[in-house]
Amino acid sequence: MPYLNVVEVESAVTSLATAYPDVTQLVTLPNPSFEARTAHALQIGVPAVAPKPVVMMIGGVHAREWGSCEILVHLAADLLEAHRDGTGLGYGGTRFTTAQVSDLLHRIDLVIYPLVNPDGRHYSQTVRPMWRKNRNPANAAGSANPDCVGIDLNRNYDFLFDFVTAFAPNANPQVSNDPCDPQVYAGPSAFSEPETQNVQWLLDQFPLTGWFVDVHSYSQDMLYNWGDDENQSVDPDMNFRNSDYDGKRGLPGDLAYAEYIPKDDEDTAVQLAEAFCTGVNGVRGLSYRPITGFHLYPTSGTSDDYVYSRHFADPDQGKVLGFTVEWGTEFHPRWAEMEQIVLDVDAGLVQFCLAAA
């Protein structure tokens, strides 16, 4: 089986909703892409009298990271089939019992959004395999440079979006304000893009979301908050909202700034990231690292930091711990290897959900 194209990903999501109507709900995202594609998410869970906590997972944000969609589609299909048949799940050496699958779908709902960036994926699969951004044409008018198309969706969220002001001059966060940057142009403003607006809308539709996982490649890591600087749990005034620290963020090992995170939140985030890595390791022995996003490289405007920051910016918002999976060691593994990666990551995600539940 080759990688799924855009039509096949959407067809898989809608087909699962049709096949399992008792435990799924198809969610149509409100904002079509620039090339007029409509995306869907799938809510999975045994119906309950009261709303349940939600684990939200998104994928297909960066166009060239093809296997992320497959990981989430297979996860949804595996859980639904196992629940229907009353069986457990086996991913290599990582096993989950019938009771664990049932308990998972009774205790929480999963909201799975496999393909955030359909235009970019289509372009990557048909024209330019290493394409990363969406296909917003706004900056390409009158330009012969094909790199002027598109925005990096995972720099377009409202978290320290004005990185020039927020970060130290020599911090070098992996983000750009150059509209023709081929990789990490953040866009003209936070949430300028219909694709990131869809993610924000989905979070608003599911206010009991407590955990958020964005599936990317590559580096074999499970990242947790924060991504702008190292963590600290001592000084709550040293935080992303405090302009007194503008121009000081993003440097490792210094004393000028570290991002505040309550100790309980960090302990929980580490526990969940380690649970994911344990699930992955059991499949065929791979060792994924549980690390903060900053320890991969400094960033701003990412999904995982945005979802966690919402509660601090507005206490009426529920607290959402943010995570990013970085699967594999290349963007387009041979399909035989990608099939194994799907098993690795899905085992980790089930283990993560059980730990959250």
Mean pLDDT, the chain, integer: 97
Band of pLDDT at residue 21, cut at 50, 70 and 90: very high
Write out pLDDT tens, residues 226-268. Answer: 999 999 999 999 999 999 999 999 999 999 999 999 999 999 9
Contact by Cβ (8 Å): 305, 154: no
Q: How far apart are CA 299 and CA 316, in angstroms?
A: 26
Residue boundaries of the structural domains of the chain: 6-356
pTM: 0.97
Q: Distance (Å, rounded) from C-alpha 27 to C-alpha 42? A: 6
What is the predicted pLDDT for the residue at 141?
78
Q: Which two tokens stand for residue 323?
A: 């995570």
Instruction: Say which CATH class 6-356 falls into.
Output: alpha beta
Q: What is the pLDDT of residues 186-217, one digit of tens each?
A: 999 999 999 999 999 999 999 999 999 999 99
How large is the C-alpha radius of gyration of the chain? 19
SS3 281: helix
| 269: confidence class by pLDDT, cuts 50, 70, 90 | very high
Residue 140 has pLDDT above 80, yes or no: yes
Q: Is beta strand 109-113 parallel, antiparallel or unpaired with respect to 54-59?
A: parallel
Q: Which amino acid is located at 112 in the chain?
A: I
Mean pLDDT calculated for residue range 28-40: 98
Residue 107 has a CB neighbour count (10 Å cut-off) of 16
pLDDT of residue 1: 58
